Amino acid sequence: MKRMLDFVRLHKQFAILSALVFLLILTAVSAPLWIKISPYASNLKDAFLPPAGEHLFGTDKLGRDVFSRVIYGSRISLTSSLLLTISVLFLGTVLGITAGYFGGVIDTVVMRIADMLISFPGMVLAIAVAGIMGASTMNAVIAILIVSWTKYARLARSLVLKIRHKDYIYAALTTGSKNLYILKKYMLPNVMPTLIVTAASDIGTMMLELAGLSFLGFGAKPPLAEWGLMLNEGRIYMMDYPWLMIYPGFAICIVVVIFNLLGDSLRDILDPRNKTK
């Protein structure tokens, strides 16, 4: 307990941001327990009500409560963003470590595929893939996964190449250690801190990209309560009923800022230069 308190005192910003992330996740998970109005219940008589009273964030064109839709939207946006980040981290790490350690044909194939994908603008390629697969939240996740793993693969490969020819790696090979053991014992621990920091910083970016696909009509489909889709539905009425875009946009802004700051704090904690100080 004392060590935990010492860690919190030493890294106050990280502790505060972690608490905020926990609060966001808790809010999303517990939404059905305290949200009284269904985000999908429509009543045309209550359409376009301004924020007040029972409807804290007002209502949309179908009379649905915007507050409940924003809260329920966090469930979809957070889940899909975290799923996408974990998938990109896993795929990129596996391919990058494998390419960097074994080299040869494996390295050539993986890196040439990565170079080919990088040569296209990422968002444009994601739109093309999502358009071919059809609009849905899962297809949007897959589309961004296809264009985003290259960053992690190249980073993991470069980190592996730094230690691939170290004496202790040759010593492990000489003593009969198998490749899988070397990958788990030496390669993975050396690359994971950097990749985890990168992934934590990219959660906000992934959320923006998913919201962007939904805004353009290639992600979540009505009547789902998803922040990007809510922005798309509210843009037509932006001048007359601005709350339809203000609140989901503000929610995206807050969550993205929190995760970006959390990634910066995590980078500072895992930076070896700070440990020496």
CATH of the domain at 216: 1.10.3720.10
pLDDT of residue 232: 93
**Cβ partners under 8 Å of residue 75, min gap 6:** 28, 29, 31
Q: What six digits make up the tokens of 162?
A: 């730094």
Per-residue pLDDT of the chain (277 residues; tens, 9 = 90+): 777 777 778 888 889 999 999 999 999 999 999 998 999 989 899 899 999 888 999 999 999 999 999 999 999 999 999 999 999 999 999 999 999 999 889 999 999 999 999 888 888 899 999 999 988 999 999 999 999 999 999 999 999 999 888 888 888 888 888 888 888 888 998 899 889 989 988 998 999 999 999 999 999 888 889 999 999 999 999 899 999 999 999 999 999 999 999 988 888 887 655 554 4
Asked if residue 267 belongs to a domain, the reply is yes
| Beta carbons of 220 and 140 less than 8 angstroms apart | yes
Asked if residue 241 belongs to a domain, the reply is yes
Q: How many domains is the chain partitioned into structurally? A: 1
Asked if residue 265 belongs to a domain, the reply is yes
Longest CA–CA separation in the chain, Å? 78
pLDDT of residue 170: 86
Asked if residue 145 belongs to a domain, the reply is yes
pLDDT of residue 119: 87
Asked if residue 200 belongs to a domain, the reply is yes
pLDDT of residue 255: 93
Give the domain extent around 124.
79-272
Q: How far apart are CA 129 and CA 123, in angstroms?
A: 10
Asked if residue 239 belongs to a domain, the reply is yes
Asked if residue 122 belongs to a domain, the reply is yes
pLDDT of residue 274: 55
Asked if residue 119 belongs to a domain, the reply is yes
